[in-house]
Amino acid sequence: MKRRVKIGVVGCGRAAVQRHLPQLARLSTAEIVAAADPDPHRLAAVADRFHIPQLYPDVRTMLDKIELDVIAVIAPVQSHAEIALAALDAGKHVFIEKPLAVTIEEADQIQERARRANCKVLVGFNFRYHRLIQQARALLQRRALGPVEIIRSVFASVHEEPAHWQTRRDSGGGALFDQAIHLFDLWRFLMESEVEEVFALSRSGLRDDEAVAITAKLANGVLATATCSERSGENNEIEIYGRGGRVHVSCYRFDGLEFFSKGSIPGNGRARVAAFARIFKELPGTLAQFRKGGDVLASYGEQWRLFLGAISNDEPVSCTVEDGRRAMEIVFAAMASASSGQPVKVANAPHQVTPLLSAPETVVAQSPE
């Protein structure tokens, strides 16, 4: 690269501070030159911590005042489309945190505007770039599992003080929009097949979709399940069962990838010896990842590294607007299923949020993302 890519970050909440900005600061190819946020105190704190020289109240002022290559959209979901469209109209490449938008119409507007502007847009499904997910995909691509039969996945976390928008479906909050959408994208990424039909159950209380359970069928015949909760113990794992074996990935463990050949039983002597050998072999690399914050945080850095490389070398991006749109379609199908109590074909799903059957109790919380 002849020069570093100049980046303007829009949104200075938790996602920017804890995930994106620390990883961007590690990249020699990136230069964070500006930040925008309507909260002046949060904006000043982020600028001081990450040494960002130019500060603005909104993206339009930023675009008017400074020359940039990339706009990073890390703001609340309901503002994603507005920010992205303004950036594309100004001829800037765009990174958009997932979910892409809150309606399919907005996703289509982003896609069309990017095409007309000839700009690159990357949707931030960071788990695609997780070291162990990449290893699992390599196993699948060389057919180490044989024909795949089923996928089991879970994403659970403790989210005690969400911003108000994060508690509502219609603004991009809840476990379906925030967690399950990652799993839907990983099903597509790992299986290289589309999700055709879903059946979902959802429980809402003080927030929309506090816990969800989804069963799905993919176009290649694979059956998949996902369970998600934003008010429980932490876990993030995916397990794929094939006729020739299975692979288990626990994204929060450095030794979280386990492959079991056909007929292998978890916990037997051979499996335990193989696990210890794998841990010993991978320990040097995992220690290096720990210094970067672990594999999950490193996945944010890897997606940025590849995106900046695609910009500099004029190559295709690794997670497109179409990928973001497809994941949204599955979310909307799951919402419609949870509200109707019936399976929903993804192709027939609404292009926007389906309201809850009964509105949950209102909650007002702090710390916007």
Tell me: pLDDT of 46 over 80.
yes
Higher pLDDT, 282 or 37: 37
* Domains (range + CATH), the chain: 5-127+303-320 (3.40.50.720), 128-291+325-348 (3.30.360.10)
Taking the C-alpha atoms of residue 221 and residue 94, their distance in angstroms, rounded to an integer, is 35
CB 302 within 8 A of CB 129: yes
Tell me: pLDDT of 271 over 80.
no
CB 123 within 8 A of CB 100: yes
The size of the chain, in residues, is: 369
In this prediction, residues 358-363 reach a mean pLDDT of 48
Query: If DSSP codes are grouped into helix, strand and coil, which group holds residue 35?
Result: strand
The first and second tokens of residue 140, run together, are 């699948």
Lowest average pLDDT, out of 105-109, 182-186, 258-262, goes to 258-262
Beta bridge partners of residue 70, listed in sequence order:
7, 93
pLDDT in tens, 185-199: 999 999 999 999 999
Helices (H) and strands (E) in the chain, counts: 12, 14
Q: Name residues whose C-beta falls within 8 Å of residue 353's C-beta, 6 or more positions apart in sequence.
A: 102, 103, 169, 170, 332, 335
State the pLDDT at residue 2. Answer: 64
Tell me: pLDDT of 14 over 60.
yes
